[in-house]
């Protein structure tokens, strides 16, 4: 990748695609709570500066050497996890679980290297997933809020196959509201959503949750929905100490706790102790390109809808502040001015 000499509205140079790469005109870029974690954790030790934006929908506007010109003009979303491209996991398409993750300079586009909160971004063509015909704003949200939720739900669907299975979603923000929709699309489980905000609980119901509760009533609601057994699966999209502490007692024996949020809470493992016997803990990370294709298909089929709040790219600071204050419903998405 080189610079074309032109400068975009953000003051950043418009990059030129190298061999195997394309330049996208960014149509929409989602803001993830992970971006706030990166700010709060001083860039996670990645080389600074880099441009945020790991949820990207764009239109191909230039193709580098070896890339067919037929791609130009097509609308795509970007599979953004970074892997080494050579280890068995990467070769199998599971770049989100690259064996060399610890030695890589970035986790994803916009997470250690330049991402999509700009007028244009250069990406390898292997990252592109066709998204023609989809609304760019909601399509952008599919690439992490949707994909991570899809991958997290897919990891626990075997635990939700018993009749009357119950699943709890804690934190109905950008990711959690999509998880509710994906659970309804992919399982027959009863879905209980938990959030501190009334408007998030309303969104959960709109996305298909069978019940929605504030944290102080969650245990009673789960007991009622599960006829006293407890939940088969709890997906924690916050994973702060308060939510992990609350999640464990909601589970029945041999239940599964899926830790998606990066809230920094801890879960001491001790035997004998207070964790349910047979407990399974999963820590899913993002998802594969194939899973992004499947997530886009759910959206195309009309069974998965991202709820978004749009901001101009020039209002990114205000959008980040609103996300931090818990004032975003669904996903905040930036659109270049």
User: What are the residues binding ligand NAD (CB under 6 A)?
Assistant: 32-34, 37, 144, 148, 170-176, 194-197, 200, 215, 237-238, 240, 242-243, 260-263, 284-286, 323, 326
Nearer to ligand NAD, 154 or 240 (CB): 240
Beta bridge pairs of residue 167: 191, 233
Nearest approach, Cβ of residue 64 and ligand NAD (Å): 29
Nearer to Zn ion, 98 or 193 (CB): 98
Question: Which residues 6+ apart lie within 8 Å of 161 measured at CB?
Answer: 187
Choosing from 4, 12, 72, 84, the residue that interacts with Zn ion (CB under 5 A) is 84
Choosing from 78, 98, 179, 233, the residue that interacts with Zn ion (CB under 5 A) is 98
What is the CB neighbour count within 10 angstroms for residue 257? 25
User: At residue 243, what are phi and psi to the nearest 5 degrees?
Assistant: -75, -40
Nearest approach, Cβ of residue 261 and Zn ion (Å): 25
Which tokens belong to 149? Answer: 């939720």
Measured from each CB, the residue nearest to ligand NAD is 173
Nearest approach, Cβ of residue 83 and Zn ion (Å): 4
The CA-CA-CA angle for residues 260, 266, 270, to 5°, reads 115
Element of type H or E holding 293: helix 289-300
Partner from ligand NAD, Zn ion, none binding residue 128, C-beta < 5-8 Å depending on class: none
Instruction: With beta carbons less than 8 A apart as the criterion, state whether 25 and 59 touch.
Output: yes
Nearest approach, Cβ of residue 324 and ligand NAD (Å): 8
d(CA 64, CA 72): 11
Partner from Zn ion, ligand NAD, none binding residue 197, C-beta < 5-8 Å depending on class: ligand NAD
CA distances from 227 to 79, 103, 134, 164, 297 (A): 41, 48, 41, 9, 35
Nearer to Zn ion, 98 or 246 (CB): 98
Partner from Zn ion, ligand NAD, none binding residue 175, C-beta < 5-8 Å depending on class: ligand NAD
Choosing from 87, 154, 223, 293, the residue that interacts with Zn ion (CB under 5 A) is 87
Nearer to ligand NAD, 231 or 238 (CB): 238
Q: Decide: is 90 part of the binding site for Zn ion (CB under 5 A).
A: yes
Q: Decide: is 336 part of the binding site for Zn ion (CB under 5 A).
A: no
* Beta-sheet pairing, 190-194 with 166-170: parallel
Q: What is the torsional sign of CA 229, 234, 240, 241?
A: positive
Instruction: With beta carbons less than 8 A apart as the criterion, state whether 22 and 128 touch.
Output: yes
- Considering only CA atoms, which of 138, 149, 147 is closest in space to residue 171? 149
Nearest approach, Cβ of residue 149 and ligand NAD (Å): 9
Choosing from 83, 110, 173, 255, the residue that interacts with Zn ion (CB under 5 A) is 83
Which tokens belong to 47? Answer: 């080389």
Binding site for Zn ion (CB under 5 A): 83-84, 87, 90, 98, 100
């Amino acid at each position: 990748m080189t610079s074309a000499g032109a400068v975009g509205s953000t003051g950043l140079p418009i990059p030129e695609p190298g061999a195997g790469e394309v330049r996208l005109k960014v149509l929409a870029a989602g803001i993830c709570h992970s971006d706030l974690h990166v700010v709060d954790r001083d860039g996670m030790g990645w080389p600074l500066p880099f441009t945020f934006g790991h949820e990207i929908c764009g239109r191909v506007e230039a193709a580098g050497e070896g890339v067919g010109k037929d791609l130009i003009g097509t609308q795509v979303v970007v599979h953004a996890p970074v892997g080494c491209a050579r280890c068995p996991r990467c070769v199998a398409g599971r770049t989100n679980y690259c064996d060399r993750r610890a030695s890589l300079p970035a986790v994803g586009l916009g997470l250690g290297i330049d991402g999509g909160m700009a007028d244009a971004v250069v990406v390898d063509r292997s990252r592109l997933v066709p998204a023609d015909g989809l609304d760019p704003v909601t399509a952008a949200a599919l690439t992490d809020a949707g994909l991570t939720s899809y991958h997290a739900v897919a990891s626990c669907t075997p635990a939700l196959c018993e009749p009357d299975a119950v699943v709890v979603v804690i934190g109905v923000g950008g990711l959690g509201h999509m998880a509710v929709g994906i659970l309804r699309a992919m399982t027959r489980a009863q879905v209980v959503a938990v959030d501190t905000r009334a408007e998030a609980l309303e969104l959960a119901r709109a996305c298909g949750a069978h019940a929605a509760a504030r944290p102080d009533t969650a245990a009673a609601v789960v007991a009622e929905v599960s006829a006293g057994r407890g939940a088969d699966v709890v997906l924690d999209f916050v994973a702060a100490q308060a939510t992990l502490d609350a999640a464990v007692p909601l589970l029945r024996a041999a239940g599964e706790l899926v830790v998606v949020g990066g809230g920094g809470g801890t879960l001491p493992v001790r035997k004998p102790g207070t964790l349910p016997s047979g407990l399974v803990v999963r820590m899913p990370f993002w998802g594969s390109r194939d899973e992004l294709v499947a997530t886009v298909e759910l959206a195309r089929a009309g069974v998965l809808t991202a709820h978004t709040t749009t901001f101009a790219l020039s209002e990114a600071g205000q959008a980040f502040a609103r996300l931090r204050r818990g004032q975003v419903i669904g996903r905040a998405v930036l659109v270049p001015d």
